[in-house]
Structure 1
Amino acid sequence: MYRLLIADDHPLFRDAISRTLSLSVADASAAPYELLQAASLAETLSLIDVHADSLDLLLLDLDLPDSHGLEGLRRLRQEADWLPVAILSAHEARETVLEALSLGAVGYLSKSSSAEVLREALARMLAGEVYVPAQLMRAAPRPASLSAPSASASTSAASSTSLPPPAPQLVPSLSEPEFARRWQTLTTKQRGVLERMVLGESNKMIAWQLGVAETTVKSHVSAILHKLEVTSRVQAILLASHALAAMSDTDASPALPKRATPRRGAHE
């Protein structure tokens, strides 16, 4: 039994999520869930204190009555850094997704996701994977007001509200030449795997798309982490996302791949 907590100020939406999860129990292959509900960040923190020993995952909306944007995630990373947090939001700006991951979120789900996508995402995150829908990673970068306020707005906010300091970045900033150097150390197959990681695909999906064994993909991922000099899948995704986007402006990197029909029976 997994115990989840959803923080959203819309009761109808919370109830819809609860019904979706209860329906999944009818599937013998699906794990049953218990869902706790909170309508504010304060209520969320209170429930975390009460159920600290049994919570498995928090689904956090970015717009709560007492928290806006990524402020709530930053505070949760400070006060309950042991609890996996996934963002469940209507905001789909690519920069917001990437910043949420950099702050430690284990996933990012759009509120427009289907019930099937929600169940798949929960299964992957509860298994220790990071989940990001491919369509959010394919989206062209655009200004993200939630994660990058203007200087004047920041000054105004600072004068009226004491916000928690930003969490440390998971990866250091890296110059284009340095990323290009590390990129060149990857084999063609490793680059293909990394590009699909950036799209949010799991090892299983990457293996299906490329027509190789999942163990082969895992070996490629390990090599990618070593060559990029990072220690986790999230770090590799963040580093590659920022660098590939910058390099694409100068045609220095390939476009991210589209889903293709997998080759059958090919094992490397």
Structure 2
Amino acid sequence: MSALLNQLPASLNLLLVDDHNLLLDGLSLVLGSLAPDLRIHKAQTAEEARQLVGKQDFDLILLDLRLPDGSGLDLLRRWQQEGRLTPVAILSATDASHEVQAAYAAGARGFISKNCGAEALRDAVSRVLLGEVLPGPAARSHGRLTQRQFDILLLLAEGLPNKLISRRLHISQDTVKFHLKVLFQELGVNNRTACVSAARQLGLL
């Protein structure tokens, strides 16, 4: 067991959200050695997860991106909007760049592959529990874009209008318009559709 694991508190309360029973059982076994008093709760749908989070506090939520009744990202965004401080790490079978970036933009503290080994999973979960934000599996440069401009670009790619982008990022619509103007100039385009298309061609999305 690593030094990181030894620093964890003796009592931990985790929530695992995934629609596959076998994966949930496997995760429970792998994470079972994290703490002497480890309580693991399981949810197979977004609704089940919402209900559990509404009833009790968790030290960490491991969340799948795709659930039978909705998107894991939408669920994460809802918790962020509600002001919930529980750290959330995405557990996914994919590490597609746009999904990784969208997860971090939504407030995820880590993006963990379902294909990683048991020790790597325990280490990643431990680091998040200790307050660390894990680097993305396919981290890459945003070119000349600032992080704020990149965040706006990600939401633009989701088709969100300025009003929703401003709400999601907690900035004014005028600030969104300013950053969009800079984005258009940087990418040499004059509309939102062309901006997203150019960003994808450049590998930014």
What band does the TM-score fall into relative to the shorter chain?
0.5 to 0.7
Superposed counterparts of 1:1-268, under 5 Å: 1-22=11-32, 24-25=33-34, 33-52=38-57, 55-68=58-71, 70-79=73-82, 81-133=84-136, 135-137=137-139, 167-168=168-169, 173=179
| Pair 122,31 (structure 1): closer, same or farther in 2 beyond 3 Å | farther
| Pair 51,107 (structure 1): closer, same or farther in 2 beyond 3 Å | same
| Pair 80,18 (structure 1): closer, same or farther in 2 beyond 3 Å | farther
Q: Give yes or no for contact 1:56–1:83 (8 Å, CA) kept in 2.
A: yes
Shift of 1:50: 1.7
Q: Give yes or no for contact 2:127–2:134 (8 Å, CA) kept in 1.
A: yes
Counterparts of 2:23 and 2:48, CA distance in 1 = 17
SS of structure 1 residue aligned to 2:135: coil
Where does the alignment leave 5 or more consecutive residues of structure 2 unmatched? 1-10, 142-153, 184-198
Letter in 2 for 1:94: S
Counterparts of 2:170 and 2:94, CA distance in 1 = 21
Shift of 1:75: 1.8
Counterparts of 1:80 and 1:42, CA distance in 2 = 18
Q: Give yes or no for contact 2:18–2:64 (8 Å, CA) kept in 1.
A: yes
Percent of counterpart pairs with the same letter? 38
Counterparts of 2:120 and 2:95, CA distance in 1 = 16
Shift of 1:150: 7.6
Which structure has the bigger radius of gyration? 1
Counterparts of 1:66 and 1:83, CA distance in 2 = 22
Letter in 2 for 1:42: E
Tell me the TM-score normalised to structure 1 length.
Answer: 0.49
Counterparts of 1:66 and 1:149, CA distance in 2 = 24
| Pair 67,131 (structure 1): closer, same or farther in 2 beyond 3 Å | same
Q: Give yes or no for contact 1:102–1:169 (8 Å, CA) kept in 2.
A: no
| Pair 21,150 (structure 1): closer, same or farther in 2 beyond 3 Å | closer
More strand by share: 2
SS of structure 1 residue aligned to 2:139: helix
Shift of 1:113: 1.2
Shift of 1:4: 0.6
Counterparts of 1:125 and 1:31, CA distance in 2 = 18
Q: Give yes or no for contact 1:62–1:72 (8 Å, CA) kept in 2.
A: no
Aligned alpha-carbon RMSD (Å): 3.4
SS of structure 1 residue aligned to 2:94: coil
Q: Give yes or no for contact 1:6–1:59 (8 Å, CA) kept in 2.
A: yes
Q: Give yes or no for contact 1:5–1:57 (8 Å, CA) kept in 2.
A: yes
